Structure 1
């Protein structure tokens, strides 16, 4: 069993999890009857409406009001509260990826015995400031179970200790490591998908641009509610400025810790939407939540990729909020959309 991803909840968090898991979905539907509707006419799923109502009234729920270390602990605990649980895997291997800046911790997962379908190199969310292998553990296990692929979960360096472009540099080192070791893991190095959520989706999109022309480029880029443009705030920042977990305030907090100067936001490694030439990139799967400040930039990136001739699957998780892959234990909608992502990865890995 992976030691790096093993975490226990505090007594209060255990009580919170027990209460949330005990609520029947019929109760969620009843309590969430007056859930908000966005400008597109989509209604927030009831379980998200109920959870947000609780979280938004909880004192101290906004981690961006706290020191970074406290915010990291809080985000990790919240992720575990709403996460799925799994039996031990066939392989849970803690690794260290060599890089010029020092070793990068990572964990490789294999859910099933036998040859894996391929490999997913995964980068967690958390605004480049929060998150870890423990934080994303449930979601990557979910993908491993439902894709039959191995998952390499990468603990890239975090800001503000390691600002832009440290996370991108670590991502490149992780990709080269995965390609170099794939054969020894029983995996074709041409059957590797790069994937990530939120800031991890940003890293995955940036890597897809940087790896163009690589001997073994990604089979697909799977971008789950990604950050794609730090140079401006798109209209969805205003519509979902507050109250939907990821807020405009939190995004500004992340950006302030990650970027060291304003011009960094214009770099395509920080804002993949600003890449001048998107032709020849790997096929993309882009999942966008209907109630998310990042909604509009994901739609814009999908359009730009299509204009450049890149095959794109745009999944609109219309009733969900940002970070929905972390709440699959309590949200049928989140579970269905995460299964949709898994199916897209299977199709990419199985393609000739």
Structure 2
């Protein structure tokens, strides 16, 4: 075993051992973190403490190629490995993609399907970084999950990721039989930047009258201007930082003025929600994390949709941080949150 792999094995052992301790023991290690009347989950608090002890450099402080490698390594430390009946790599609209088939949805025919876009600030992430949550969503929800590897910034700036997401959705409508998808039970979803892409894709679907049954928006970015209290409260020390958010903006849309950042393809919060569009928008399950800089903009978007007459269920996981979707193999509380999301997905496509 190489030195780096041995180090990673030790880190994984320490992380999973610490976050797997009984809750009563975890509560006795260190002090609780309370902010904005919320208390951070003890297992998440210990993950963050272990990261500080290990002196892990922030991804946004590294050159982007190195940051991508570091983020992939960090994600692997907290990833689960839930079994599914089949995992198939394929091409979707010229992009690498991966289809997850749960045991409940094996065989011929058409099945409820989630088109999934990964997070990572439009700069990081790929099929591997979100393999674990896609597996868990597929197995727990009993739906097929089609994950797409869209183009990343700074190599490809706005609106490249948006255009890729929309192309993947159109491909799925045209090739549903190839992946066993039922277009009457189709969801788009994603986390963070992926939630942004899913929301923008759903808006286009509504504008064009295309089929969509559900939006699964997991702590989505919805407003590129982001002047929020949650950003001021949680922009440092809770995994997603102001520095990371600034880097994502510099890489994906550096050329845009404030007015141009209101483009709904980038900021769904400013979309025209007239009666016709709102009447066609797919129902929404939108969840946020209590200790997340993006919390307030996600919840503001949910309220705006609801005011326009869209069916919305908003769920705040008060004790979680941004990125909990990826933490399916470490601790108990993040995984429990993802399982709850999967059950909402299952109900939304029933």
Q: TM-score, normalised by structure 2?
A: 0.91
Other-structure match for 2:62: 66
Aligned counterpart, 1:341: 341
Partner in structure 2 of residue 294 of structure 1: 294
Give distance in 1, aligned partners of 2:116 and 2:9: 28
Return the offset for 1:213.
4.0
Match of 1:139 in 2: 133
Which stretch of the first structure deviates more once superposed, 136-145 or 211-220? 211-220
In 2, Cα distance between equivalents of 1:213 and 1:203 = 15
Q: TM-score, normalised by structure 1?
A: 0.91
Q: Does 1:79 align with 2:81?
A: no
Count the aligned residue pairs: 335
Q: Is the 8 A contact 1:110 1:116 kept in 2?
A: no
The aligned counterpart of 2:264 is: 268
> Is residue 230 of structure 1 aligned with residue 227 of structure 2?
no
Change (3 A) 1:129 1:323: same
**Distance in 2 of aligned mates of 1:136 and 1:214:** 30
Moved more, 316-325 or 110-119: 110-119
| Aligned mates of 1:74, 1:19 — CA distance in 2 | 18
Say if 2:105 is the partner of 1:107: no
SS class of match (1:153): strand
In 2: Cα distance, 1:200 partner to 1:71 partner = 19
Q: d(CA) in 2 for partners of 1:160 and 1:184?
A: 33
Structure 1 residue corresponding to 2:175, chosen from 166, 174, 181? 181
2:16/2:331 contact within 8 Å kept = no
SS in 1 for 2:293: coil
Query: 1:325 corresponds to which residue?
Result: 325
Q: What is the alpha-carbon distance in structure 1 between the residues aligned to residue 165 and residue 33 of structure 2? A: 37
State how 1:185-204 maps to structure 2 within 5 Å. 185-204=179-198
2:20 is equivalent to residue 15 of structure 1: no
Structure 2 CA distance for aligned equivalents of residues 291 and 232 of structure 1: 16
Contact (CA 8 Å) 2:285, 2:313: kept in 1 or not?
Answer: yes
Q: What is the aligned counterpart of 2:34 among 28, 34, 37?
A: 37
Alignment of structure 1 residues 121-132 onto 2, 5 Å: 121-132=115-126
C-alpha distance after superposition, 1:27-53 (max 9, x if no partner): 323225x221121x1100001111111
Q: Which runs of 5+ in 2 are unaligned?
A: none
CA distance in 2 between partners of 1:11 and 1:163 (Å): 37
- Residues 122-165 of structure 1, C-alpha deviations (whole Å, 9 max, x = no match): 00000000000000000000000011111111000000000111
Whether the 8 Å CA contact 2:191–2:220 is kept in 1: the answer is yes
C-alpha root-mean-square deviation of aligned residues, in Å? 1.6
